[in-house]
Amino acid sequence: MAAHLFTALLLALPSVTPATAAATAPDIPPGDYQQVQLATGPPEIGEAMSLAVLPDRGVLHTARDGTVRHTDPAGNTKVAGKLDVYTHDEEGLQGIAADPAFATNRARVSAGAPGGTIEVRAGSATGTLLGTLTVRNTGGWDTFANVSANLSDTPSGTTTLFLLFKGMTGQGNLLDVDTFTLTR
């Protein structure tokens, strides 16, 4: 499909022909890049939207339906998570990014109630506790604050992270998360 799209673009530009485009394109030394096939077919890609290369050369890639996949440096792809997103028309999960500093957790939160905590756990909801973010009443649901916590005992390699939202029972709404950033 890429070759057809490239040909269509060249034909749409009257001053450029395939012969002149090939003649003027500079050669890129093979040592300057590496082509890696991340995944193939709908089961491994879905409707691909964006990707983020991680410091270990693994890649997070997203699909419009909210599926986030991780391809490790060895080329193994698995579903890392699925977010509930609105997918009507052109809506859906549009992007993903990895913080360049990639052991601090941060969240931008609001709480009109007493608040609560966000636990970050590895492997399962009862797995190793890596860190806890405390969210206090911010003065209203439209008043946001940044909270952070250092992570400890972070596993090497790839693991599934679980975020547990905890608070007092019967207090109503717990808290609102605007953004959540994981860095290492």
Residue 101 CA from chain centroid, whole number:
15
Residue carrying the six token digits 């890649």: 59
Higher pLDDT, 86 or 128: 128
Total domains, the chain = 2
**Residue 115 confidence (pLDDT) above 80:** yes
Higher pLDDT, 2 or 56: 56
Residue carrying the six token digits 């792809």: 77
Give me the percent of the chain exceeding a pLDDT of 70.
79
pLDDT in tens, 2-54: 443 333 433 444 444 555 555 566 787 878 777 767 777 667 777 788 888 87
- pTM of the full structure: 0.45
**Cα–Cα distance between 175 and 141 in angstroms, integer?**
8
Lowest-confidence segment of 18-27, 92-101, 155-164 by average pLDDT:
18-27
pLDDT at res. 127: 92
**Domain boundary pick from 57, 81, 98:** 98
| Domain co-membership, 94 together with 110 | no
| Domain co-membership, 126 together with 161 | yes
Range(s) of the domain holding residue 52: 43-98
Lowest-confidence segment of 76-80, 89-93, 160-164 by average pLDDT:
89-93
Residues in the chain: 184
Q: Is residue 21 part of a domain?
A: no
Closest CA to 167 of 119, 102, 101: 119
Q: Is residue 32 part of a domain?
A: no
pLDDT at res. 8: 41
**Cα–Cα distance between 52 and 107 in angstroms, integer?**
20
